[in-house]
Amino acid sequence: MNVQKRDEMTSAVHEDGCACGVFRFRATGKPKRVGMCHCMTCRQVHGSAFGAYAIYPRGDVTMSGRLSTWHSSEEGRRHFCPVCGSVAYMEFVSRDEIDLPIGAFDETDLFEPDYELWCRHREPWLPRGARPEYDEERPH
């Protein structure tokens, strides 16, 4: 029983997608880390107070459907559904990682953030001290 439970943890498959269903993901296993980001770009693309992402190795994520892409910086790419406008994922082209927004997953209570970035833009009404906080980026 315990062995089976451990297998489920390492090989768990979680699915997500955009609001209209044009785009779908499958993420296998556990994310490398989970982060919240208060930067102005995350705020604007999500239309929300912050972005929150489960960050997976690129090879652990498969995708189907079509997306539009905005080059948000030299290395940053923001992918979104061209039909419903949902944030699909973000990536830095130099990193072997895919940042999936936790709000896109089909299930709740999958992930809890490990840290918060760009706290100098955080809304003052959000709770503080729940996890490591960085004024801007965190060191990689």
Residues that bind Zn ion in the complex, under the rule CB under 5 A: 18, 20, 22, 37, 39, 42, 81, 83-84
**Nearer to Zn ion by C-beta: 7 or 136?**
136
- What CA–CA distance (Å, rounded) separates 68 from 108? 26
- Least CB distance to Zn ion at residue 51 (A): 5
Minimum separation from the CB atom of position 13 to Zn ion (A): 21
Write down the least CB distance from residue 58 to Zn ion, Å. Answer: 19
Give one word for 113, left, alpha or beta, with left for phi > 0 and alpha for psi -120 to 50: beta
Distance CA 138, CA 140 (A): 6
Burial of 93 (0-12, 13-18, 19+ CB in 10 A): exposed
Which one, 27 or 119, has the nearer CB to Zn ion? Answer: 119
Q: Which residue, 7 or 15, has its beta carbon nearer to Zn ion?
A: 15
